Chains A and B, each alone.
Chain A
Amino acid sequence: MYEKESISVTHLNKIFNTASGQIMALQDISLSIGEGEFFCIVGPSGCGKTTLLRILAGLDDASSGTINIKSTNINRPVNSMVFQEQSIFPWMTVLDNVSYGLHMRGIPKKERYEIARHYIEMIGLSKFTHAYPSQLSGGMKQRVSVARAFANDPEILLMDEPFGALDEQNRILLQQELLRIWEEARKTTVFITHSIDEALCLGDRIMVMSANPGVVKTIIINDLPRPRNISEIRTSLQYNQLFQSIWFILRDEVINSKSKASSI
């Protein structure tokens, strides 16, 4: 379905060694993500979705298996991550935060500020270009975090529940904005969420994971038409059918894990 493959993961395992023994966090994960695809991962907490993303980001190592991220340009960074928690530097202005990745890559000040300003405008924070994060609301901070990742122009974008801590109104606004920016850049994106709704609004495909151990349950193709308007697609029949099918998988999963836990 995608002409070129951007990310391929084969037989990936991750084992954590803890005091009470080994924990299989991820078991035999294999997947292939196409260039320009918006790939969502949903699953209950503890299914290892954040671990998988951190391994893709190079922040953690896999215990076994291989990961291949295609590089189209050697000057381009492989990945940029948008973290779940507040992660923009409080000691930098919005401008310096957004241009951080470019700065680290040694791009001259004038050039990186120009690029950063473009993305700051995109997220609607031009007025706050020289503000410090302490002057921003939670939603604005996450916008900056998203802009920082986009401005870095990586091969792939990794997002770990970036809107999880926001209130409903802000979340919808940011989802809509993310869709708009993504439509323009069409960058390969791996997006983690625990919300079926969010996955349906954003993703091209949705990978459903289950916990203990973290395995791929199924991958669902989400062919809701693009460009998407979040309030419109929610009322469509297609959305409801997809929601149902994902929910049934997840529901069984949650009930199973509960009964497993109570039988111990």
Chain B
Amino acid sequence: MIKQEHPTILFRILSVLSPLSILILWEIMARVHLIDTRLLSSPSLIFQAFIPLLLSGELLYNTAVSVQRVIWGFLAGSIPGILLGISMGLSPLLRSALEPMIAATYPIPKLALMPLILLIFGLGETSKIFTIAIGVFYLVVINTMAGVLSIDKIYLDVAQNFGASRKNFYLSVALPGALPMIFAGLKLGMGMALILIVAAELSAAKAGVGWMIWRAYDMFAIEQMFIALITLSFLGYIFSLLLDMLENWVLPWKKQI
């Protein structure tokens, strides 16, 4: 037992120390001109650029715009994904009707659909939200269906034996039984949403973190680009934290294992 504790502390220190040392190394290499600061910048330069961007509210505004798009796109993709995934998991009829279609269209890179989505929905918010939604939808629907199909048959017998109605069966067996897999899908979907937001904001956006990256490219403002990238990684972290919290709240029975 005592032997085990030692490495745990070591691992913790290491996990803080290693990114820190990379930052320091980066800074040193920039100072002694081992790397080109015009392209790779340096932690101190990035921090200097960060303050005005934060104080002017520009960064927060762009972040808020992107967050809104991600949330709406995430909801628009995951809610139908969960509903359809459960229905497909429970109904062999629906499954055989829709599964081939989903399997065939799933491998299409969602980015390849961007031009078509722009033509259909125009340059407004809808096109960006829809791009994210469609990426999230596939991951959620596939995982939800797999989740329902993985529910042990014994629980279906129990529900039948105790006379569960269709609605009660959904709520007491199918949904909770599939929830662990649904959350796996939601987490993958959130990662996908962050990938797609940058791409969606590439074309025809006037704000957003993704837009900031492309504007920084146009203006050759490397620091701003790094700040946008860090913001994205921060957003990803926050969103996964929120999903973890939601998971712990919805799945108390998983937490206590």
- Judge whether B157 and A59 touch: CB under 8 Å: yes
Q: Does A132 contact B (CB under 8 A)?
A: yes
Least CB separation from B158: chain A residue: A87
A100 to chain B, nearest CB (A): 6
Q: Does A57 contact B (CB under 8 A)?
A: yes
Give the docked Cα–Cα distance between A92 and B177 (Å). Answer: 10
Q: How many residues of B contact A (CB 8 A)?
A: 22
Give the docked Cα–Cα distance between A101 and B159 (Å). Answer: 9
Q: Does A248 contact B (CB under 8 A)?
A: no
Q: Does A89 contact B (CB under 8 A)?
A: yes
Give the docked Cα–Cα distance between A132 and B257 (Å). Answer: 9
Interface string of B162-191 (1 = CB under 8 A from A): 111100100011001101000000000000
Q: Does A134 contact B (CB under 8 A)?
A: yes
Q: Does A33 contact B (CB under 8 A)?
A: no
A261 to chain B, nearest CB (A): 29
Interface string of B219-257 (1 = CB under 8 A from A): 000000000000000000000000000000001110011
Q: Does B155 contact A (CB under 8 A)?
A: yes
Known contacts A104-B168, A134-B253, A134-B257; is-contact A87 B155 (Cβ 8 Å): yes
Known contacts A132-B253, A134-B253; is-contact A91 B179 (Cβ 8 Å): yes
Range, interface on chain A: 20 to 34
Q: Which residues of A contact B179 (CB under 8 A)?
A: 91
Known contacts A132-B253, A132-B256, A134-B257; is-contact A89 B158 (Cβ 8 Å): yes
B172 is contacted by which of A58, A100, A135, A148 (Cβ under 8 Å)? A100
- Judge whether A80 and B172 touch: CB under 8 Å: no
Q: Which residues of A contact B160 (CB under 8 A)?
A: 58-59
Q: Give the residues from 123 to 170 in chain B that come closer than 8 angstroms, CB to CB, to chain A.
A: 154-155, 157-165, 168
Extra contacts besides A91-B176, A132-B256 (14): CB < 8 Å: A57-B161, A79-B161, A83-B157, A87-B158, A89-B158, A92-B172, A92-B253, A100-B172, A101-B163, A104-B162, A104-B163, A132-B252, A134-B257, A152-B162
Interface residues of B (CB under 8 A from A): 154-155, 157-165, 168, 172-173, 176-177, 179, 251-253, 256-257
